[in-house]
Amino acid sequence: MSKAVKRLVVRCQPYIIDYHKEVRENIKKYAQAGVYGVVFEAIKFQKSNKNLVKIGADFCYPNEILKNKFLDLKEECHKYGLKFLSGENRFRNMGDSLSCCGFEGLEGFEGNRYNLNYKIYKQEDLKVTKCMENKGSAYCFKAMHQKAGSHKLWKSLSFKEVMDSVFCNKSCVHSYLGIENGKHRKLKTI
């Protein structure tokens, strides 16, 4: 398949820590198959579970545990010449790119650089496109806020206006990063 496409990316989503060894062992096989990189994002639970932390509406692996697992997977990816891509918002800057999709540097494609990842980790590359300033370009946010009549609101706003309000909303940013009271959440049993 890798010979028939511009770039082949494997998605390990959801990543489950109980299968870390098996996931790690497959990285060499991905390299042999011509894979460009691997996207890792941990499983999110809807209900509380032992040794998970609450981030936004989800229950997730604590930062301390997941970070060490991701560092190990990143090292293994690099050992075989693969890109390590983080789909996990808390560790997006750990990836070889702020995009989790592996498109960076791909000719003819430019991703969205006016988002929280660039605002937080690479503000010098934060970029608004002309289309993002058009009224109605915020309609993509409708899926996250499905209330009766909300389509009128989203059609009246620009993508840039909505993102600017998100950038100023500390609770939004902290939830995105898994931060509570200005600090990353500590390991706790829920």
Question: Which pLDDT belongs to residue 189?
Answer: 29
Number of helices followed by number of strands (H, E) in the chain: 6, 7
Which pLDDT score is estimated for 84?
98
| Per-residue pLDDT band at 190 (split at 50, 70, 90) | very low
Per-residue model confidence as pLDDT tens digits over 17-26 = 999 999 999 9
Q: What pTM value is reported for the model?
A: 0.81
- Residue 163: the pLDDT is 92
Q: What percent of the chain has pLDDT above 90?
A: 54
Task: Report the distance separating Cα 7 and Cα 34, nearest Å.
Answer: 9
Could you read off the pLDDT of 24-62 as tens digits, one per residue? 999 999 999 999 999 999 999 999 877 899 888 889 999
| 76-86 average pLDDT score | 98
Q: What is residue 8's predicted lDDT score, i.e. its pLDDT?
A: 93
Q: Where are the domains of the chain?
A: 1-111, 112-190
Domain 1-111 has CATH 3.30.750: yes
pLDDT above 70 as % of the chain? 93
pLDDT tier at 181 (50, 70, 90 boundaries)?
Answer: very low
Whether pLDDT at 74 is above 80: yes
